Structure 1
Amino acid sequence: MTSSRWLLLGAIVFTFLAWASAFVVIRGVGPYLDGGPLALGRLAVGVVALGIAVLIARRWVWPTRREWAQLAIVGIAWFGAYNVALNTAEQTLDAGTAAMIVGIGPILIALGAGIFLGEGIPKWLSIGAAVAFAGVVLIGIGTMLAQGGAHPVDLVGALLALVAAVAYAIGVIAQKPVTRHIPAIQATFLACAIGLVVCLPFSGLLVAQLAVAPASAWWGTVYLGVVPTALAFTTWAYALSRMPAGQLGIASYLSPPLATVMGFLAFGEIPHPLALAGGVVCLVGVALSRRRLRVVAPA
């Protein structure tokens, strides 16, 4: 394996390890910071860290008008809406369940990449998408049963996690064309800055909640801003510039099982058996989506 392939593999592994840890840290900070304020704090730290990295890199490519529009979509959908929705969802969902619901995102990315990026929609991709969606339904039912019945807060949490998955997919599909021209660090910095602007209405609440939050909440916010945001989004953009969006999106199914294990180690959280079954169904859907029609060569 060449050094460039090792570098690509390292970027992918680091990205999904960092993102899996984010589900757990968000869960830990959740009792002290609401979804919106936590998103703002995370993005503020991320913008500072990425700004320093951009200055060190000393490379700036001015985006075209179309690329600015695409970056705006990435910033609003992925950095803004995704973070707020996921943070709020984890107020009532355990880290593993939230990760499994957000795990529908890769299928949406593969479908969107086929429609909007010309990567095609094979037959097995459509079948896999349907199976994975059934898995998400099972996760939602399991989440409600975990509280002894149809608990409205848990249902809202599951729906918000699904919103995060959709925002994730929209962000990736909009980001892919940008990475062909804009350096990974710069693209991540600009999208993060746009997401920060979107979350500014939560400024007052962030200041008020941080004033009474313990040190662990402060450090958790810093970690989320530096590792899963500044570093992991940059390594993601690097990988995205070097492989198809649908293929890379499928690889993100590494995160749910990792987040489940980390959530158990950190908080002793174990998702409901039906939610775990739904996660397995999602993985089956991914496996089906990766199948290819066998072409028989002529004699």
Structure 2
Amino acid sequence: MTTTRTEAPSRPGLAAAAAAVTVVLWASSFVAIRHLGTEISAGALSLARLGLGSLFLGALLFTRKRPAVRRWPAQRDWLPLIACGVLWFGVYNLALNEAERRLDAGTAAMLVHIAPLLIAVLAGFGLGEGFPRQLVMGGLVAFAGIVVIGTSTSDGRAETWGVVLCVVAAISYAVGVVTQKPLLSRLPAAEVTWLACTIGAIVCLPFGPTLVGELRSASASTIWWIVYLAAFPTALGFTTWAFALRRTTAGRMGVTVYAVPAVAVALGWLFLSETPGVIALTGGALCLAGVAISRRSS
């Protein structure tokens, strides 16, 4: 007897709302990290966010109704799962948190969101998707944007290490996503996300003593910002993303993340009174234009 997989019902309105929530939450994470960087170091913040995020995701995962047969990762799944957790959650958060101690939230968001372009390149090599003309053109435009952003921040001067760290974060994110892709065909997305987040938290455990020491002198508002970062952009943001992705195409969902830098710039202006300079905004526009060109159909 053959079992037919039941697809999630199509609910464009709910999917669009979930995608919008994800964009706002992920954009707000750049502002939260920038704010917290004044009191909490990069490693300690990564551990706090991923540790609490793992707890929230685990609670969400194990308290909901589950199928009779639980699919646990097979032996072959653990290597890509560990790679995903180390790179996407561990290295990405460490690099981004350290970068935002040097760059404003909007500039960091624009740089990190060249990741979709990098994913396309990696997929061309590793998944046999090839390199259409749009990908090559988009890559050149996005690279020009990186160079432009590297020459300017809010005060008109570059913070080279901040730019480098954002590029490292984007590469780690892209490699993590491509590594994760085969897992999603064999395992539930929620379990993959929770396990990867937990692995990332384990990677950051060496920063535990630093986190304890910094929390002792941290203000109450700082602690609440950490809880917000873990509960909303991490746990809730990934949940709404999965909800929307299940009900629409991956390409359409991929386009939505291009709105994150613009929202991050607006939130950075609203809450932190900072906006990238004109040159940085021009570079960010080039990066996003490059990604958009690379995603166009022939």
Residue 73 of structure 2: aligned partner = 63
Residue 232 of structure 2: aligned partner = 227
Structure-2 change in CA distance of 1:197 and 1:267 (3 Å): same
Task: State how 1:5-16 maps to structure 2 within 5 Å.
Answer: 5-16=12-23
Shift of 1:291: 2.8
| Among 267, 271, 278, the residue aligned to 2:272 | 267
Which residues of structure 2 form unaligned runs of 5+?
1-8
The DSSP-based 3-state class of the residue aligned with 1:3 is coil
The reply to whether residue 33 of structure 1 matches residue 47 of structure 2 is: no
Write out per-residue CA displacement over residues 91-134 of structure 1, whole angstroms, 9 at most, x where no aligned residue: 11110000011011111012222332344432101211211111
Q: In 2, are the aligned partners of 1:109 and 1:246 still within 8 Å (CA)?
A: no
Q: In 1, are the aligned partners of 2:114 and 2:291 still within 8 Å (CA)?
A: no
Using structure 2 for the length normalisation, give the TM-score: 0.89
Residue 126 of structure 2: aligned partner = 116
The DSSP-based 3-state class of the residue aligned with 1:112 is helix
Shift of 1:244: 6.8
Shift of 1:147: 4.1
Instruction: Read off the aligned partner of 1:74 and give its amino acid letter.
Output: C
Task: State how 1:110-189 maps to structure 2 within 5 Å.
Answer: 110-143=120-153, 146-147=154-155, 149=157, 154-189=159-194
Residue 82 of structure 1: aligned partner = 92
Q: In 2, are the aligned partners of 1:188 and 1:230 still within 8 Å (CA)?
A: no
Residue 212 of structure 2: aligned partner = 207
| Among 108, 113, 116, the residue aligned to 1:103 | 113
Instruction: Read off the aligned partner of 1:185 and give its amino acid letter.
Output: A
Q: In 2, are the aligned partners of 1:110 and 1:246 still within 8 Å (CA)?
A: no
Q: In 2, are the aligned partners of 1:30 and 1:90 still within 8 Å (CA)?
A: yes
Residue 25 of structure 2: aligned partner = 18
Structure-2 change in CA distance of 1:18 and 1:120 (3 Å): farther
Shift of 1:237: 4.4
The DSSP-based 3-state class of the residue aligned with 1:137 is helix
Write out per-residue CA displacement over residues 239-297 of structure 1, whole angstroms, 9 at most, x where no aligned residue: 5567776664443211101100000001110111110000111122123223333xxxx
- 2: distance between equivalents of 1:260 and 1:38? 22
Structure-2 change in CA distance of 1:197 and 1:68 (3 Å): same
Write out per-residue CA displacement over residues 53-80 of structure 1, whole angstroms, 9 at most, x where no aligned residue: 1211253311122322221111100110
Identity rate, percent: 49
Structure-2 change in CA distance of 1:234 and 1:74 (3 Å): farther
Using structure 1 for the length normalisation, give the TM-score: 0.89
The reply to whether residue 50 of structure 1 matches residue 57 of structure 2 is: yes
Q: In 2, are the aligned partners of 1:184 and 1:238 still within 8 Å (CA)?
A: no
Residue 198 of structure 1: aligned partner = 203
Instruction: Read off the aligned partner of 2:229 and give its amino acid letter.
Output: L
Write out per-residue CA displacement over residues 195-221 of structure 1, whole angstroms, 9 at most, x where no aligned residue: 010000000000000100111110111
Write out per-residue CA displacement over residues 14-65 of structure 1, whole angstroms, 9 at most, x where no aligned residue: 2222110000011111111011100000011111111111211253311122
- 1: distance between equivalents of 2:216 and 2:259? 36
| Among 3, 10, 13, the residue aligned to 1:3 | 10
- 2: distance between equivalents of 1:202 and 1:218? 17
Segment of structure 1 superposing worse, 252-261 or 11-20: 11-20
Structure-2 change in CA distance of 1:237 and 1:75 (3 Å): farther
CA RMSD of aligned residues (A): 2.0
- 2: distance between equivalents of 1:243 and 1:61? 24
Shift of 1:235: 3.4
- 2: distance between equivalents of 1:282 and 1:155? 17
The DSSP-based 3-state class of the residue aligned with 1:179 is helix
- 1: distance between equivalents of 2:60 and 2:26? 20
The DSSP-based 3-state class of the residue aligned with 1:176 is helix
- 2: distance between equivalents of 1:181 and 1:102? 29
Instruction: Read off the aligned partner of 1:184 and give its amino acid letter.
Output: A
Instruction: Read off the aligned partner of 2:216 and give its amino acid letter.
Output: A
- 2: distance between equivalents of 1:258 and 1:103? 12
